[in-house]
Every structure is written in structure tokens, then in C-alpha cells.
Amino acid sequence: MLAILAWGSLSAGCGRTETVAGPVYSKKPPAAAATTIHFAIHPLHNPRKLVQSYQPLVARLNARIPGMALEVEASRDYQEFERKIAAREPEILLPNPWQTLEAMKTGYRVIAMAGEPQDFKGLLIVRRDSGIERLEDLRGRSIAYPSATALAACIMPQWLLHEHGIDVNRDVLSFYVGSQESAIMNAFLRRTVAGATWPPPWRAFVAEHPAEAAQLRVAWETESLVNNSVMVRDDVDPALAEQVRRELIDLANSDEGRAILRQIDASRFLPAGDADYDRVREFVARFEAQVRPVKGGVP
């Protein structure tokens, strides 16, 4: 290994020692630098809350996987997160199931599922004083969604409306407001008659804003599907990917790990692969054939 050191030489004819810069070879290698890995998580919460929630998980992974420097990467909205997927920017992803299908197209693969499948369902939130009692009462009214591509918090509730004979392209007004919290707050502030979300953000809202949450109620729930995935880019070292997978699945086996899981509102990480998301592909195909294009939103 080449290192730049000082070495001495005798000055000719004057007996003095001068210090002259020059190269010498050393057998001692420099300390290995940790490999920075970007862990991008879809907008489950606003960026600040998301980073706070996932920092303990990242700290544990960094402590237990030598040579890795994992960094949480939040996005301001769904569109920005999906741009990163298309550009293959992050090495590791935690996308929703529809984004999982999109990430497969750009060279990512599933290594785990984040949370119980039963917890992945859509919720329609209304004010207790809204007078909304039946799904049919939403005709001609407005609904707030985080994004047109939010599977549990938009696509699945819109499918529920469709199944009950409500045309989401004509019978209701749809607003895409950028985040789960914004969708809930739109209903609370009466900007829309309903807000769509899914269980983890709703539980967080109830815990952090109990007075506001007391004025709201879950009016409808959709059926469950499969939960969010953890994915790695196809150029990530397979041995590193396997270490991350094992550490995530092992969280449920210790008190420290279970505390971290509570922080991110997940019961556990489950083993999973690409094939576990075939159900999502089939559901999205039905939705697009009968309701609207996922990427296009509602006209």
C-alpha cells in the first residue's frame, strides 16, 4: 500500500540532515471505510416522524452488521419516492405492495415483508358529526387520499367504493394530499367529508392527537392484502442482503428487537420473496381494468 511519509537524507558535504518528502511502501492497510447504504422508506409518515421512527432500527443494523453504514432516507411525497425507485437510487427499499411491483421492474427483489398481512387494509375516516352512515352517503362528496398510488390508503378504498356501485371517476371528488396525516386532517378540518388511510398512521394519529381523533371514527375497513416489502437492489452484495434479512426477521426474538418493532408499529418482519406479491399484481390488474389506471389517478 502506498503511503506518503517523511524520510531523511544527508546533505552532501555539510553534515546536516534535511527532511525531504518522498514515497515509501507500507504493508499496513488503512482502516476499511464502512459502506454507506441508503434505506428509503415510502411516506408512511411525514419525513421527520419517519426518520425518528426508523432510526433505532437503523442503529441496531449498523451495530450488528460489520462494515455497513445504513442511512434512513425519507421522501417528501409518494411521487418523489417512486422517482427514486425508477432511478435505482437507494440500495434498500421499504415500499408499499404496488411500489414493490414497480421496483421489480427496475431491478429490486423482495427479501422480507414488514408487518402482518392482516394489518394491510384501507380505512375510511369521517367525523363523528358528519352524518355519513352508509357508503352511498359519499356520493357527490369529497375524499382525501395520500396519493393515487397508495395501495391500502387509496386503491383499496376506491375498490371498496367501486364494489358498492360508486364510480370514483364521477360520483365522488378525489383529492391527493401528499401524506397519511394530511388525509386524516382533511376529514377532521372538514375540507373533505372523508379521509383514507391505513392502520399504522391511524394508530399514530390516535396516540399523538387524542383530542382530534376523538372527533373522528373509522367508518369502513377494506379487506386485507399483503403488507409492505423490504427490497434490495440487484447489485447489492448477496451476503450483505442476507445479513439484513436475518437481522430483520430476528427482531421479534429479543426485548430490544420488540421495542424497535413497536417504534415502527410492526409486529415482526416475515420471510418473503417476489412471488408473495403475485396477489397484488392480480388485484391491481382487476382495479385498472374496472376502475382507473393506478399512475393516472382520477380525472
Residue 151 in contact with residue 225, Cβ under 8 Å? Answer: yes
Q: How confident is the model at residue 27 (pLDDT cuts 50, 70, 90)?
A: very low
Q: Which CATH class is domain 35-118+226-287?
A: alpha beta
pLDDT (tens digit per residue) in 158-167: 999 999 999 9
| Amino acid letter for position 152 | A
User: What would the grid cell of residue 269 be?
Assistant: 418482519
pLDDT (tens digit per residue) in 251-285: 999 999 999 999 999 999 999 999 999 999 999 99
Residue 223 in contact with residue 121, Cβ under 8 Å? Answer: yes
Report the residue count for the chain: 299
Per-residue pLDDT at 67 exceeds 90: no
Per-residue pLDDT at 17 exceeds 70: no
pTM comes to 0.84
Whole-angstrom distance, CA of residue 110 vs CA of residue 150: 19
pLDDT (tens digit per residue) in 110-134: 999 999 999 999 999 999 999 999 9
DSSP assigned state of 54:
H
Tell me where in the chain the CATH 3.40.190.10 domain(s) lie.
Answer: 35-118+226-287, 121-223
Residue 160 in contact with residue 122, Cβ under 8 Å? Answer: yes
Per the CATH hierarchy, to which homologous superfamily does domain 121-223 belong? Periplasmic binding protein-like II (3.40.190.10)
